[in-house]
Amino acid sequence: MGKTNEYQPDRRKFLAGMGMVGAATIAAPALKAVAAESSTVWAEEHEIVIIGSGFAGLAAAIEARNLGAKDVVVYDKMPYFGGNSTYNGGLFAVPASPLQKKEGVQDSPETMTADQLKAGRGVADKDLLLHVAKHAEEALRMTLDAGSEYFPYLQQLGGHSVPRTYQTTSASGAGIVQPLVQQCKKLGVQMVTRAKFDHLIHDEEGRVIGVQILKGHYFGRDTEGSPVNIKAKRGVLIATGGFARNVGLRQAQDPTLTAEVPSTNPPSATGEALLELFKAGAIPVHMAYIQTGPWASPDEDGFGYVSNYSIYNFAHSISVFTRTGKRFMNEIADRKTRSDAQLACRDDAGNPLPPITITSYKHAKEHPTMKKVLKYGVGWKFDTVEELAAHFKVPIEPLKAQIEEYNGYVKSGVDEQFGKPMEKAKGKYIEAPFVVIRNWPKVHYCQGGAKVDVLARVIGSDNWKPIPGLYAAGEVTGGMHGVSRLGRCSIPDCMVMGMTAARSMMKA
């Protein structure tokens, strides 16, 4: 097994054989990703090789086994399974779901796709969105079969035209990841941690025939691990997530996303597998479209407790800029609109001044996360508006006037300030005692990545055709959601495209 730079002559032969002299400039970074099959020493061989153990990788593994695959392996570079999916909020949008039918909600895959296209601002991929929406109920069923539990009601969240979102009872993606991991083990899927993907291995015709894995990898400890070559009979699925924690890479796409903007993702969301896909010739799509979550808190790390609390309560709350005591946005506008408005909240020196979100205690307590928000000191309860204003140094009279004005909108059902839909705020006046949290956006999701088709095949930049043997699913792919991903749609995206990749590989 040679070092990566030993593969370079083979890549040049491959490019010449493909008549790609003109493309060599584009493909040059791909040199280390290619090896001649005859010179490769294989340590292992598996029917299907999956890189990444989040929603997409786990769904692919289960689907492949259900379709008859006898040898499926999942690798993850971390010492645990689930990746960023574990940090997910556990909110799962499903059109035409059993709960919608029970509650009499009229919905369809086409309606959900229309909502997503609107959020995507004209550049989302309709074919991919519709494919996911049509199969989302199958993905939900897979989680239920594995043992996931959801609250017995639906939520209608920002940008969705109808209630269609399930919430795990754990209020996190772990409520899906853990049952899926157990289901994988039950089905005999080989699950390997501390195994970092390094690069793809091609045969002389350009087909992806395996990967090099660094086994014994210790993330963040300068221990890369020992390289081993893994052969894949049917194909390789890359399902490694986005690059939200790679500040340099994300700032290269969007200079506003400096280290000043934290992330909900775990430290492992660094995107090196995505860069390897590009080296192998994958088409980059929408890399500058990076979503921030307006429901996050500067007072806790990662996704935390405030995120789900805010998502539930925004509809009947007011967000206030502490310098003015006034609202500054529609609290349930799409994510980008709200994040941009929050990032504009600054002090005189231009430093971040996180706005506050005020909710009546009697309504805030309806969501189970409120107790944890208060318990862990990332939210505060106040008996009077005077106490609230003093704590956050908000001008009292403008704040009182704002609350009175907003309560008028609750009564009339029309938000004359920002056009917020008031159906979910009906009868829910802003009254003492209050629960208050601070919000500040965090980098949450990277819409950009490698281009795939509706069969989850990675499309190559040299000929705009699928790269043989190479599949991708989840946040490592790009183009599906456009400028702004509609909230609650990452779980169906990841799971459906993971299942799709498995189906494609089993037919290959």
Catalytic residue ranges:
335
| Lookup result for tokens 């040299």 | 462
Q: Could you tell me which residues are beta bridge partners of residue 237?
A: 50, 471
From residue 437, give the alpha-carbon distance in Å to each of 1, 32, 99, 104, 298.
Answer: 55, 49, 31, 34, 10
Structural contact between residues 245 and 265, judged by C-beta atoms closer than 8 angstroms: yes
Q: 331, 311 in Cβ contact below 8 A? A: no
CA distance 162 to 151: 17
Integer Cα distance of 314 and 428 in angstroms: 12
Q: Say how far apart CA 420 and CA 427 lie, in whole Å.
A: 15
Beta-bridged to residue 312, according to DSSP, are none
218-235 as b/e: b if 16+ CB within 10 A:
ebeeeeebebbbbbbbbb
Distance separating alpha carbons of residues 207 and 211, to the nearest angstrom: 12
Report the distance separating Cα 270 and Cα 254, nearest Å. 16
- φ, ψ of residue 227 in degrees (nearest 5): -75, 135
Longest distance between any two alpha carbons in the chain, whole Å: 78
Judge if the upstream peptide bond of residue 227 is cis by omega within 30 degrees of 0: no
Ranges of beta strands (E only) in 239-273 are none
Interstrand relation of 91-93 and 165-167 (parallel, antiparallel or unpaired): antiparallel
What letter would DSSP give residue 283? P
Q: What is the rounded CA–CA span in Å between residue 239 and residue 26?
A: 24
| Residue where the block lists tokens 């390289």 | 227
DSSP 213: E
What distance in Å separates the CA atoms of residue 151 and residue 281, rounded to the nearest whole number? 43
